Structure 1
């Protein structure tokens, strides 16, 4: 049985009367869901994120067929502003990271990270294995760039002076106090990036992640 076929089982397990209702709950088009169920396309990481967050779906079961379909407990999704907002965006697709609550896809009430600013999905492999594509990170905004935790991972958004960089990187101290060293955790992404502190438009420290094996 493929993961697409297992998704069809979830619709019945979750007691949705129609595929349209299920598609609406995941904020996707009914036609896209139909293509997935007919195995014309795969299940995206964004949809897997929503299945995990909204319905506690065990993604390992969905992908591999092992374990139980649902986790016993997990983050609680709220339609109201209870918890931390989740934004289903890719850093590479946005010029600025404006985390306005009104633009949130939904809110996640999960006590370990309720002091954070937002949840964001990870795209790309530059920070693997520390943060893998498909995982969800909890971030908190940093306003004082003079007090940073060296070696920790940050979401870095820079202006035109740094080519509008939008990335997740580990930050290290530079000999020049006006600059920062940015580094990937993936050894396949070699070489440091040096940026000026005053080119940073917004900065968020990563406080943790919600993984598929969290529970």
Structure 2
């Protein structure tokens, strides 16, 4: 049995009445789901869809890919609707502080260790590897007092137009000038510090942890 065929069995396992209902639940087009189920042109299941299956429905990805274990993880971290922290399937380069509103979220994640966080976001790019790898999902908490920071920790930082509307994940370090902050990548291939003024920061989110579709 292929992973596409195992995906088809999930519709019955999870008691969805129609493929349309299933597609709407995991927020993909019904036509895309149909193409996957028919293995049109050898189409497989993308990692983005696997993430949704795991996070929304508690699907065991190892079972989906290899047929190992049970189809559904018994203790899914996904709760009933309206409970948990919002997950936004967006790139930092495409977002702004005002976009992190619950009605724009893909779904809610109820995972006790991170339930005090503001949002879950996907990681794109390799500048923070190996601390945070592309494809992982990070739990972030907004910091409103920019005078009290944890040096050496990773933050999402957003700045204004005076500093080119920076949207990035960086390690923060203290600058000798108290009005400035040093930003640094954890990937040694991305050399060179960025220095920004505190006054140019419009939003800061400390990264409290991460989850992946294979570790849930």
Q: In which range does the TM-score fall when normalised by the shorter chain?
A: 0.7 to 0.9
Identify the residue that residue 53 of structure 1 maps to in structure 2: 55
Aligned to 1:33: 33
Is the 2:56–2:107 Cα contact (8 Å) retained in structure 1? no
Structure 2 equivalent of residue 191 of structure 1: 192
After TM superposition, the structure 1 stretch with the greater mean CA deviation from structure 2, 17-26 or 60-69, is 60-69
In structure 2, C-alpha distance between the alignment counterparts of 1:2 and 1:126, rounded to whole Å: 35
Question: Residues 212, 28 of structure 1: CA spacing in aligned structure 2 closer, same or farther, 3 A cutoff?
Answer: closer
Contact 2:121 2:138 in 1 (8 A): yes
2:65 & 2:184 partners in 1: Cα distance?
31
Structure 1 residues 91, 39: CA separation in 2 closer, same or farther (over 3 Å shift)?
farther
1:5 Cα shift?
Answer: 4.1
Q: CA contact under 8 A between 1:60 and 1:212: conserved in structure 2?
A: no
Moved more, 55-64 or 120-129: 55-64
How far apart in 2 are the matches of 1:55 and 1:187?
37
| Structure 1 unaligned regions, length at least 5 | none
Q: What's the TM-score once normalised by structure 2's chain length?
A: 0.86
Equivalent in the alignment of 1:173: 174
**Aligned equivalents of 2:10 and 2:183: distance in 1?**
42
Note the aligned Cα RMSD (angstroms): 2.2
Q: Is the 8 A contact 1:86 1:108 kept in 2?
A: yes
* 2:79 counterpart residue number: 77
Normalising by structure 1, we get a TM-score of 0.87
Bigger-Rg structure (1/2): 2
- Give 5+ residue unaligned stretches, structure 2: none
CA apart distance, 1:188: 2.7
Which residue is 2:150 aligned to?
A: 149
1:22 aligns with 2:32: no
Match of 2:79, SS state, is strand
